[in-house]
Amino acid sequence: MSNLRFNLQKVDGQARLGILSTAHGDISTPAFMPVGTAGTVKAMTPEAVAQTGAQIILGNTYHLMLRPGADRVEHFGGLHKFMNWPGPILTDSGGFQVMSLKGLRKMSENGVVFKSHIDGSSHNLTPEYSMQIQHKLDSNITMALDECTPYPATEKEAETSMQRSMRWAKRSKDAFFPRDGYGLFGIVQGGVYSELRRESVEELKGISFDGYAVGGLAVGEGQKVMFQVLEDTIPHLPYNRPRYLMGVGKPSDLVGAVMRGIDMFDCVLPTRSGRTDQAFSRMGQLNMRNARHKNDTRPIDDECTCYTCQKYTRGYIHHLGLCKEILGSTLLSWHNLHYYQDLMRGIRVAISQGLLSAFADAFAAGQATGDIDPI
């Protein structure tokens, strides 16, 4: 019995249309989650994020445990109240960020001892402590602590890493605080090795989770390899549980992964690109610093209904970028997040009509037309 309700409504090939219900509201899947690392989606108000169509956001356990601290967030009534986001929140376990602290962390079977990138203070992140932190944050979807296997890794290295993640997954499940409308996701690891991925799936199914994430991808292996790993992994996951591809990605990644059976995504790309004057559009990616935009009176995307495209021209956004004005980051982040939500809405409609393959072809053709700048 799951603490989260997942209602599958329609299937088109391997793609799935569904509703994931939590204590803080429903999420239409396939879904993209904006990343609110430190309790904020960068350059955006929560109200603006909601206006893009986002129904769930992601918070980061590692960053929030360091600043302001889980106890302080709990004092304010949890992350929803602290940051004024009433909808569902997923928090990652902190494992990926800790693994990125090369030279500042020491791993053992118990967990990871690491030094804060902020002040050098020492911390010990264990599966049990990660569950405690995420509970204090009042996260609707808690992620099991795992070790994100680096790329490249030998098969033996990937196996050792995956098996440790599976032991940590069991400890995470044992330490989780089950409540109605709150769930725990396990994370599939195993690098690019199909047998290890399948072994990881079987281990997680034996523990039983409310949802299953595919981790350790989009770390340098390339889209072709990522899609192959998904094709080798997803058919073995429980059919009646949501599937989450962590840290992905580009629009073409989302379309391809949905067609392989993924239900949920997160990525910093829309807002990070917005802060570097890059825009996503139906014509591909645009570099708004490019001089050809300076006298352009059109919006970023003629078909876009976001706040930015309804109010501002390419020429003005180009000007903001050259002046390094903060407003430029806000307007582009707003547009990019809206574009991602528009893409997911289009995918959901296509699945409901049994037309996802045609949608994917039209998407690819649009991205391949002119007016594309490299990022």
Q: How many beta carbons lie within 10 A of that of residue 349, not counting itself? A: 13
Q: How many beta carbons lie within 10 A of that of residue 21, not counting itself? A: 16
Find where tokens 């080798």 sit.
232
Contacts of residue 323, Cβ cutoff 8 Å, sequence gap at least 6 = none
CA-CA distances (angstroms) from residue 326 to 37, 50, 270, 322?
19, 20, 16, 11
Query: How open is the CA angle 110-95-55, to the nearest 5 degrees?
Result: 135
Is 301 part of the annotated catalytic residue set?
A: no
Catalytic residue among 12, 146, 266, 301: 266
Is 266 part of the annotated catalytic residue set?
A: yes
Catalytic residue among 92, 253, 277, 342: 92
Q: Are 308 and 331 in contact (CB under 8 A)?
A: yes
Question: Please, what is the end-to-end C-alpha distance for the chain in angstroms?
Answer: 45
Question: Exposed, middle or buried: residue 180 (CB in 10 Å: 0-12, 13-18, 19+)?
Answer: exposed
Residues annotated as catalytic (active site), given as ranges: 92, 266
